[in-house]
Structure 1
Amino acid sequence: MASARRSCRNNPDVFCYICGQYTLSGDRKNITGFVKRAYGAYFKVKLGDQDKSWAPHTVCKTCVEYLRRWTKGAKTSLKFGIPMVWREPFDHASDCYFCASILWHQPEESAQPPVPPTFHLPAVHWLTAKKFLYQRSQSFRQADDEATSTDERGYTEEEYEAQDSPAALFTM
């Protein structure tokens, strides 16, 4: 399906590989060894498709920060238990996640983004699974990735935890 991918005018690297969100250039990070190991330990699957042109090759700062906090034990989970599942599009016109997502960001579009059938969006923990138990691995070291103290929005640890609670969804 290389021809289908070439017909897409949108760059997949403006999306986060983990959560699938569109990210601005200042919020993007390259996928490092730390991200690959933390992703594998958290989701129990290998971070793949990095040799494919149709898959994103970047992650957002928020996902990296959540993974970093999880490996240090400061967070018990990410916002979702199942990451974005990437698949090669069958048909560019009707099955391209990147084009559908970019179009949805236009103001005149409807309230729900179109989701191509080959993509599975991240699923929130408390909707899909029981309490997520975690283990910190000794293989994670702070030197594997550059350290950051806050995310791009400047959230504190308490604000992160408040965002993770089911009640937070009903108060917005």
Structure 2
Amino acid sequence: MASARRSCRNNPGVFCYICGKYTLSGDRKTITGFVKRAYMVYLKVKLGDQDKSWAPHTVCKTCVEYLRRWTKGAKTSLKFGIPMVWRELFDHATDCYFCAINTTGINRKNWQSLQYPDLQSAHRPVAHCEDIPVPAFTQFPDSDDEATITDERGDTEEFEYEAQDGPQTFSQ
């Protein structure tokens, strides 16, 4: 599906904001408050550009699960210490990440065969190394901390719910 605003070969929404990989429809996730907070703690930068049309507005299931496991103390982490860096493109013909990747005929069996370019407008992630170690998760920032991330409505996402016994009535 082409993006109507600039006739891209691929819609930016089919790529992961964090790793830049093409995601099949069942593997796309919305960017939640948890993803924003975990991204900030892991990568030490705020997940941004969500108000920009030239950046993806979804993440892949793999990145979300790696972040979730990392926050739970499992020995998994993202495969990189510097995420995909998205910038506004200046020359659509030569610098469009979404046009440079041919996703025609891609399915669950062959999606890993895609080749991803490193462009001025879209720098590929940088793997962990001696200079970019895997961070240790301690905790999410306090709600009073200015680093706390809120969703579009201004609500902070809550993760814990109290279970209640018995039936619950609903009112409309």
Please confirm whether the aligned pair reaches a TM-score higher than 0.5, indicating the same fold. yes
1:45 aligns with 2:48: no
Equivalence for 1:94: 94
Equivalence for 1:114: 117
**Would you say how many aligned residue pairs link Structure 1 and Structure 2?**
138
Equivalence for 2:56: 56
Q: What code does the residue aligned with 1:63 have?
A: C
Equivalence for 2:7: 7
Structure 1 pair 84/105, CA: closer, same or farther in 2 (3 Å)? farther
Query: Which secondary structure does the structure 2 equivalent of 1:50 belong to?
Result: coil
Equivalence for 2:75: 75
**Where does structure 2 lack aligned partners over 5 or more consecutive residues?**
143-156, 161-172
1: distance between equivalents of 2:92 and 2:22? 18
Equivalence for 2:126: 123
Structure 1 pair 105/49, CA: closer, same or farther in 2 (3 Å)? farther
Q: 1:76–1:132: 8 Å Cα contact kept in structure 2?
A: no
2: distance between equivalents of 1:138 and 1:41? 7
Task: Kindly state the Cα deviation for residue 89 of structure 1 after the two structures are TM-superposed.
Answer: 1.0
Task: Kindly state the Cα deviation for residue 102 of structure 1 after the two structures are TM-superposed.
Answer: 2.7
**Where does structure 1 lack aligned partners over 5 or more consecutive residues?**
145-172
1:134 aligns with 2:136: yes
Q: 2:38–2:67: 8 Å Cα contact kept in structure 1?
A: yes
Structure with higher Rg: it is 2
1:143 aligns with 2:159: yes
Q: 1:16–1:56: 8 Å Cα contact kept in structure 2?
A: yes
Q: 1:76–1:133: 8 Å Cα contact kept in structure 2?
A: no
CA-based RMSD of the aligned residues comes to 3.0
TM-score, structure 1 normalization? 0.69
Using the aligned pairs only, state the percent identity: 68
2: distance between equivalents of 1:112 and 1:138? 35
